[in-house]
Amino acid sequence: MRHDPLFLLWTINCPSSEDCRRLQRWLPDEITPDAVVVDEVRGFPGRIETRCREPHRLGDYFESVQVFPSSECASRSFRLLFRRRPTAQRFWKDLMVRILQKVRAQAAQTTTTLEYRGDAEPEVLAADK
C-alpha cells in the first residue's frame, strides 16, 4: 500500500534577493485554496484525438500552501510548505509540481529543493515563525 506524506517543505533558491522578494509577493495569489489549475487531458479513441479540460482547485488537494522565510541565505531563499489533505486524490503531486514550475518560470535560475517530507509538521519551521 502506498503512503504519501502529509507535509512537504521545499526551499526556493533565487538568483538574487530582488527576485526572492518579488516571488514572495507574487506567490500568495497563486497558492490560495481557490486557485485553479486546468489540466488538458488528451486521448486517442479510435485513433481520433480528443481533448478535455479538467479544472483542479488547490483547496481540494491541500489544506494550505504557505510561504516561510528561510533561515539560510535569508535574502535569496524562502520555503514553501504544502499541507496535503489526507483525502487528496492522486493529482495532488501534479498540482505541487506545477506550482513549483511556475515559481521557477518567474525568475530564471531559480531552483527548488525538497527539504522535508513526512506526516508531522516540520520542526525546522518553529524557528522561522
How far is 117 from 8, CA to CA, in rounded Å?
Answer: 5
Strand partners, 69: 78
What is residue 128's predicted lDDT score, i.e. its pLDDT?
52
pTM higher than the cut 0.85: yes
126 pLDDT band, cuts 50/70/90, is low
Range 113-129 average pLDDT? 81
Cell representation of residue 7: 507535509
Residue type, 106: Q
Cell representation of residue 67: 510561504
For the domain made up of 7-125, give the CATH fold: Alpha-Beta Plaits (3.30.70)
What is residue 75's predicted lDDT score, i.e. its pLDDT?
83
* Most distant CA pair in the chain, distance: 57
Cell representation of residue 114: 525538497
CA distances, 101 to each of 24, 32, 109, 111, 116 (Å): 15, 17, 12, 10, 18
- The 3-state DSSP class for residue 26 equals helix
Kind plus residue range of the DSSP H or E element containing 97 = helix 92-106
Dihedrals phi, psi of 42, to nearest 5 degrees: -115, 140
127 pLDDT band, cuts 50/70/90, is low
How far is 116 from 44, CA to CA, in rounded Å?
Answer: 39
What is residue 113's predicted lDDT score, i.e. its pLDDT?
96
Asked if 80 and 65 touch (Cβ cutoff 8 Å), the reply is: yes
What is residue 66's predicted lDDT score, i.e. its pLDDT?
95
Model pLDDT for residues 52-104, shown as the tens digit of each residue = 999 999 999 999 999 998 665 558 999 999 999 999 999 999 999 999 999 99
